């Protein structure tokens, strides 16, 4: 039985299963992005990773949706799979997965582990949106009580993207916790003045 199990684990995924997994992923993306139907997306993505566990895009999207739903145990499995599957030959997608995993670890109150993920994501030169990783890294330093490091990191995020309202909010938070109320007020005021989509929720 053990030999049969090992053989099954090492079995090559057929071309048909690879194509089927990709079709499930495409259906999930449409359900999630166009139709805003997370449950349908989860069903499709579950089939995608069952058919091909190495479908990193399906693992990543499934982890991201579950993270948004607060299903942290399941999301962590999917996001760690995505990071593992997205190796050094795919630095930009790997940075994306590391950033999401870092957010999950922060939500699980594990900021030191989050720092490891987020430092790699932020430091990747091919990361298309490095300010997001720097912003989350600043959040991690706030949780660790290192407000000077948080301020330095969040200022770097805002250098890359001056209209990053969450970065302005967290920078204001770091200054506030440090007791620098003038800088806290200035950054918080700037944060609520940003009119980009999503910033109104601040």
What does the block give as tokens for 115?
Answer: 């720092």
Q: Is 27 helix (H, G, I), strand (E, B) or coil?
A: helix
pLDDT score for 200: 85
d(CA 185, CA 22): 48
Give yes or no for a contact between 124 and 94, defined as CB atoms under 8 angstroms apart. Answer: yes
Residues 46-91: tens digit of each pLDDT: 999 999 999 999 999 999 999 999 999 999 999 999 999 999 899 9
Q: Are 41 and 32 in contact (CB under 8 A)?
A: yes
Phi-psi region of 198 (alpha: psi -120 to 50; beta: other; left: phi over 0): left
The whole-number pLDDT of residue 11 equals 63
The pTM of this model reads 0.90
133 within 8 A of 127, measured Cβ to Cβ? yes
3-state secondary structure 61-120: HHHHHHHHCCCHHHHHHHHHHHHHHCCCCCHHHHHHHHHHHHHHHHHCCCHHHHHHHHHH
pLDDT at residue 8 in the model: 44
What are the tens digits of pLDDT across the range 83-113?
Answer: 999 998 999 999 999 999 999 999 999 999 9
More confident residue, 131 or 13: 131
User: CA–CA separation, 153 vs 137, rounded Å?
Assistant: 7
Average of per-residue pLDDT values in the chain: 94
Tell me the average pLDDT across 21-44. Answer: 97
Give the tens place of pLDDT for each residue, 139-154.
999 999 999 999 999 9
pLDDT of residue 3: 40
- Is the pLDDT at 173 greater than 50, yes or no? yes
Q: Quote the pLDDT of residue 198.
A: 85
Distances (CA, A) of 36 to 31, 57, 145: 6, 18, 37
State the average pLDDT over residues 117-132.
Answer: 96
């Amino acid at each position: 039985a053990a030999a049969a199990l090992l053989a099954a684990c090492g079995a090559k995924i057929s071309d048909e299963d690879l194509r089927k997994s990709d079709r499930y992923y495409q259906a999930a993306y449409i359900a999630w992005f166009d139709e805003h139907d997370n449950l349908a997306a989860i069903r499709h993505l579950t089939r995608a990773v069952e058919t091909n566990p190495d479908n990193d895009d399906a693992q990543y999207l499934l982890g991201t949706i579950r993270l948004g739903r607060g299903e942290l145990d399941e999301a962590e499995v999917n996001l760690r799979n995505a990071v593992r599957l997205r190796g050094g030959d795919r630095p930009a997608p790997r940075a994306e997965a590391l950033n999401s995993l870092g957010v999950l670890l922060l939500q699980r109150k594990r900021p030191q582990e989050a720092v490891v993920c987020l430092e790699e994501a932020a430091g990747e030169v091919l990361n298309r949106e490095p300010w997001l990783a720097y912003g989350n890294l600043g959040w991690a330093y706030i949780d660790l009580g290192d407000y000077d490091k948080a301020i330095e990191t969040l200022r770097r995020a805002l250098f890359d993207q001056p209209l990053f309202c969450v970065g302005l909010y967290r920078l204001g938070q770091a200054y506030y916790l440090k007791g620098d109320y003038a800088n806290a007020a200035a950054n918080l005021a700037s944060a609520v003045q940003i009119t980009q989509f999503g910033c109104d929720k601040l």
